[in-house]
Amino acid sequence: MWLHILWLLLVFFNSTFASIKSEADNDGKYKVIRIFPRDAQQLELMRSLYNKSSDLQLDFWKAPTALGHFADVMANPNMARPLITFLSEHNIPHIVTIDDVQGLTIEREGRRSETDASDLDPIMQAFLKRAKDASSRNKAKYGFGDYHSYNEMVQWMNDIEYYYPHMAKVFSIGTTYEGRHIRGIKIGNPIHRTDKRIIWVDGGIHAREWAAVHTALYFIDQLISQYGVDPQITSYVDTLNFYIVPVANPDGYEYSRSDISPQTRFWRKNRGQQICKKDRWRRERCCGGVDLNRNFDFHWGETGSSSDSCSEIYQGSGPFSEPETRAIRDKLLSPELYGKVDAFITLHTYSQMWIHPFNHQRNSVPSDVNDLEEVGKRGVKALESVYGTKYRFGTGADILYPSAGGSDDWAKAKGNVKYVYLLELRPDEEEWDGFLLDKRQLIPTGRETWAGIKVVIDAVIKAQRAVAPGVSPSSPSQIQQSQLRDQQLRTDIQRRLDMLRITHSSSTRKDRNRNVHTSTAAPLSGQCVDRSPWCVNWMRVSPDVCRTSTLYMRQDCARSCRYC
| Structural domains of the chain sorted by starting position, each given as residue range(s) with its CATH number in brackets | 2-99 (3.30.70.340), 119-255+341-467 (3.40.630.10), 480-556 (no CATH)
| Identity of residue 39 | D
State the alpha helices, DSSP H only, in 421-532: 442-467, 481-506
Quote the Cα angle for 141-143-144, to 5°.
115
| Identity of residue 91 | N
The secondary element (H helix, E strand) that includes residue 278 is strand 275-278
The active-site residue out of 109, 209, 322, 424 is 424
As a whole number of angstroms, the distance between CA 116 and CA 4 comes to 54
Phi/psi for 303 (5° steps) reads -160, 155
Contact in structure between 289 and 272 (CB atoms under 8 Å): yes
As a whole number of angstroms, the distance between CA 15 and CA 321 comes to 38
In 10 A of CB 400, how many CB atoms? 22
Cβ neighbours of residue 493 under 8 Å, at least 6 residues apart? 538, 545, 549, 552
Predicted pLDDT at 484: 42
CA-based end-to-end distance of the chain: 61
3-state per-residue secondary structure call for 341-392: EEEEEEEEEEECEEEECCCCCCCCCCCCHHHHHHHHHHHHHHHHHHHCCCCE
Q: Which of 230, 235, 233 is nearest to 220 (CA)?
A: 233
Distance of CA 443 to the CA centre of its chain: 20
pLDDT per residue rounded down to tens, the chain (564 residues): 455 445 545 655 565 655 554 555 667 899 999 999 999 989 888 888 888 888 788 999 988 888 888 899 999 998 899 899 889 988 999 999 999 999 999 988 874 344 444 444 555 555 555 544 433 577 889 999 999 999 999 999 999 999 999 999 999 999 999 999 999 999 999 999 999 999 999 999 999 999 999 999 999 999 999 999 999 999 999 999 999 999 999 999 999 999 999 999 999 999 999 988 876 667 788 899 999 999 999 999 999 999 999 999 999 999 999 999 999 999 999 999 999 999 999 999 999 999 999 999 998 999 999 999 999 999 999 999 999 999 999 999 999 889 999 999 999 999 999 999 999 999 988 887 788 999 999 999 999 999 999 999 999 999 988 765 444 333 333 333 444 444 445 445 555 544 444 444 444 444 434 333 333 333 334 468 876 666 776 666 567 767 765 655 676 678 888 888
Predicted pLDDT at 558: 81
Q: Is 254 an annotated catalytic residue?
A: no
Strands 419-428 and 353-356 come out as antiparallel
- Identify the sign of the CA torsion 243, 412, 465, 541: negative
As a whole number of angstroms, the distance between CA 305 and CA 290 comes to 10
State the alpha helices, DSSP H only, in 74-121: 77-89, 101-108
As a whole number of angstroms, the distance between CA 18 and CA 78 comes to 10
